[in-house]
Amino acid sequence: MSDIAALDATAQAALVRSGEASPAELVEGAVERAKQVNGQLNAIIHPRYEDAVAEAGGDLPDGPFRGVPFLLKDLDGTAAGEPLHAGTRFLKEAGYIADTDSELTVRFRDAGLVVIGRTNTPELGLVTTTEPEAYGASHNPWDLDRSTGGSSGGSAACVAAGIVPMAHAGDGGGSIRIPASECGLVGLKPTRGRSTLGPEVGEAWAGLVTRLAVTRSVRDTAALLDAVAGPGVGDPYWAPPPARPYVDELAAEPGSLRIGWTNRSFDGSIELDPQVAAATEATANLLEQLGHQVIEASPAALASGDTLEYFLPAYSAWVARELDHLAEMAGVPLREDGFEAGTWAIAEAGRATTAQQYLAALDGLHRLTRATVAWWEVEGFDLLLTPTLPELPPTLGQFGTTKEEPLNGLFRSAVPAHFTAPFNVTGQPGISLPLHQSEEGLPIGMQLVAAPAREDLLIRIAAQLETAHPWADRRPLIWTGTI
């Protein structure tokens, strides 16, 4: 049998369908690989190895990924009978166990995936690195001194190291795309309303949050989106369904697209790492070679620099509400010492935000959305190319907070999220592709953003780039398969 760790989820599922491997063999292999390297990565914090092996030996749903091992993030959804701590000491010390499944969890299982555990995440997903005080830092398989990104950093580390071929992720400001970039993976943030957040909530962060996974191949992303997309019962809004399955886009010719690109920060506030800037220009040149019309251009609305004016009041209110929700879940009062200094300080600001200030902030974000989306819908661009983040994966330890400097993590996170967060505000789909590496061998992701509900176009262009500049054979320092 081939090196299982090197196979994407589509290939692993094909082994099960052909009888070359059983679900139990795939899951037992993933568990052994997890045990082999998790001590170095600190990525899986709630293992369920024995239960997963037992489930793999039973009657699994006959979905497209039957028998493929998978990981859930310890945020962005629940699994009945399993812990959910959201990166917090508060829920960890309360020993919280979820009593219901999120709809997305159900859909992952219905697709045939077998969950072997839950992965590390920053507290409430509020920063762009996975270094929660409650569980400690996750380490990047490419360089153990580097961040995995956040908030889906534990999931990304496991996929990059070959433990599982894909893992659950969520994105409220870049939390799928940033870990994908820092760990050398594919990360699609779907359109707002494409994946359900029910039944717990109708929306999270006024629609900025959406959920899917990090993967190692474009075809896995497309097939998983086909398997789990669509509204849940009673969702307040949903994205229009695609004209055909997303897997059909993999072989579709994208045609000659009008693509804008930039390797400068939108508002001039951040200096890009020279290697990141060069990689972005190289990607623009590659797209031109593939027959696209490539123009150095980006939405003028993103250069205004007033996003934070609207974002911060809303963000702090969302965090305050999340803490109240945790107290409701756990059935115990909130305690300041149950949370990191930054989380508590942001929530305190949220408690001081009036309803009128919150609604004014949303009005501002909606105005920004209309002005930004016009670049696609009015000015006629098909795609925007940017780096996923303006820097190489940062070293661990830069995002910590103290009572004296409680907002250090938030402000430090503004740098990695510079190119990703605007498209959580607008609700547009964006994908990070692991097209480049630095001189040190660190991954450099490239982000492509499409008009609302155009994941089909992103998958077409991503598949074209994967063929033109493949990444499947790259291996990090910590790799559980055969070199």
Mean pLDDT of the region 243-257: 97
In a domain, 477, yes or no: no
Question: Residue 432: inside a domain, yes or no?
Answer: yes
Total structural domains within the chain = 1
Residue 98, domain member (yes or no) = yes
**Nearest Cα residue to 343 out of 46, 89, 93:** 89
- Asked whether residue 248 is assigned to any structural domain, the reply reads yes
Best CA proximity match to 51, nearest among 103, 7, 99, 109: 109
pLDDT at 1: 46
The pLDDT of 262-272, averaged and rounded, is 96
- pLDDT category, 483, cuts 50, 70, 90? low
CA distance 416 to 170: 16
Residue 361, pLDDT above cutoff 90: yes
Residue 69 has pLDDT above 70, yes or no: yes
- 140: domain CATH number is 3.90.1300.10
Residue among 409, 416, 415 at smallest CA distance from 345: 409
- Choose the catalytic residue: 151, 152, 195, 413: 151
Per the document, the length of the chain is 483
Cis peptide upstream of residue 236 (ω within 30 degrees of 0): no
Give the mean model confidence (pLDDT) for residues 118-134.
98
Strands 383-387 and 69-73: unpaired
Cis peptide before 406 (omega within 30 of 0): no
The model's pLDDT over 424-470, given as tens digits with 9 standing for 90+, comes to 999 999 999 999 999 999 999 999 999 999 999 999 999 999 999 99
**Span 102-119, pLDDT tens digits:** 999 999 999 999 999 999
Q: Do the Cβ atoms of 406 and 243 come closer than 8 Å?
A: no
Does residue 363 sit within a domain? Answer: yes
The pLDDT of residue 2 is above 70: no
Tokens representing 84 are 């959910």
Tokens of 478: 């910590």
- Tell me, yes or no, whether 312 lies in a domain: yes
Annotated catalytic residue 413: no
Q: Which of 102, 155, 175, 265 is catalytic?
A: 175
- Domain, as residue range, for 308: 4-468
92 annotated active-site: no
Please indicate whether residue 181 is annotated as part of the active site.
Answer: no
Task: Look at residue 481 and tell me if it is in a domain.
Answer: no
CB atoms within 10 A of CB 204: 19
The tens digit of pLDDT for each residue in 214-233 reads: 999 999 999 999 999 999 99
Residue 482 lies in a domain: no
